[in-house]
Structure 1
Amino acid sequence: MDPIASAVSELLAHAKGDEAASVSGLIPTIERIRSRPLVVLRSDDLAPGVFGMWRNYPDRDEVHYAPWVASLDRTIAHEFGHMLLGHKGVSAKETATRTLPPEWHDMASLMLRECGQLDCLDEPRRRLEVEAEAFASELCRRIAGAGGARSARIRSLLNEAL
């Protein structure tokens, strides 16, 4: 089984009760798997073009989503993919570029270079985004396809069969 399908299967296998009936219902499942709190929040201050963002703190995880996203479940599932696939997050340079006004980009690059933070490659970042999007697609497909199953275990087995 490929790593994406395997990660989705593992998530759904850990779901209890009706947790696997929806993407947001999987929050307690992810909290158990990662042994830490997870909060999903609407965020009005995400940079233009950013649908969602996973923020990994020492004591908790937060998933922020923009109020204008077309598919909330898919956006949240994408961020869950980053978490459960072991991704480390966005580089400091990428964050600075997305959040600072353009006139500050040169100053931010200079500061990051001095701190040794400019070793980000585009191809690895693209690969992580593709993996997270594949995870979101697989998770949303399985939840939609198993909507009638009442038990999380039955839902998980049905999802693996699909």
Structure 2
Amino acid sequence: MDRIVGEVSRLLAHARGVESASVFGLVRTVERMRGRPLTVKESAELPPGMFGLWRNGDDRDEVFYAPWVAAPDRTVAHELGHILLGHGGLPVEEAVRHTLPPEWHDMASFMLRQCGHDAGADEQLRQLERDAEGFASELCRRISGAGRARSARIRSHFNEIL
């Protein structure tokens, strides 16, 4: 079974009650599975062009989504994909681009290279984004296509068959 499909199935199999009826309901499931708090909030402080962000702290996770996104559930599903697929969070150079003013980007990149930061990780970053997007697509498809099945476990098995 494909890793992404497997993780979506695992998430839905752990859902209780109506949690599997929505992406936001599955936040509680992810908390239980990981044994740590997860908060999801709208944030007007995300920079232009950034739909969502996952911050993984030592003792908790936070997911933020921009107020202007057309489908917040899809954005949150993407960030849940990063979490459940074991991605490490935002790479340093990407974080620099989102937090520092554009006129500082070249200097910051130069300083990171001097510290031995691998600037050639662009393809790896693209793959992580493709995986998270695949997770979001699969999860949203299953939630919307589950029909009248009441149990998350039944829905998960039903969707695996499809």
TM over 0.5: yes
Alpha-carbon distance between aligned partners in 1 of 2:147 and 2:21, rounded to the nearest angstrom: 6
How much has 1:97 moved relative to structure 2?
Answer: 1.1
Residue 107 of structure 1 corresponds to which residue in structure 2?
107
Matches for 1:129-148 after TM superposition, within 5 Å? 129-148=129-148
Query: Displacement of 1:125 after TM fit?
Result: 0.4
* 1:126-157 deviation digits (Å, cap 9, x = unpaired): 00000000000000000001142112222222
For residues 147 and 109 of structure 1, the distance between their equivalents in structure 2, rounded to whole angstroms, comes to 49
Alpha-carbon distance between aligned partners in 2 of 1:131 and 1:35, rounded to the nearest angstrom: 23
SS at match of 1:54: strand
What is the root-mean-square deviation in Å for CA atoms of aligned residues?
1.3
Secondary structure, counterpart of 1:24 in structure 2: coil
Partner amino acid, structure 1, of 2:88: K
Paired positions, count: 162
Q: 2:20 aligns to what?
A: 20
TM-score, normalised on structure 2? 0.94
**1:33 corresponding residue in structure 2:** 33
Q: TM-score, normalised to structure 1's length?
A: 0.94
Give, in angstroms, the shift of residue 44 of structure 1. Answer: 0.9
Gap runs ≥5 in structure 2: none
2:12 aligned with 1:7? no
Residues of 2 paired with 1:83 and 1:27: CA distance?
A: 11
Following the alignment from structure 2 to structure 1, what is the Cα–Cα distance between the partners of residues 43 and 124? 27
Q: Give me the whole-angstrom Cα distance separating, in 2, the residues matched to 1:77 and 1:62.
A: 13
> SS of 1:98's equivalent?
helix
Query: Cα offset for 1:98?
Result: 2.1
Alignment of 1:21-100 (within 5 A): 21-100=21-100
Q: For the structure 1 residues 92 and 120, does the alpha-carbon distance in structure 2 shift closer, same or farther, using more than 3 Å as the test?
A: farther
1:118, distance to aligned residue in structure 2 (A): 3.9
Counterpart CA distance in 2 for 1:120 and 1:156 is 38
Alignment partners' CA distance in 2, 1:81 and 1:120: 23
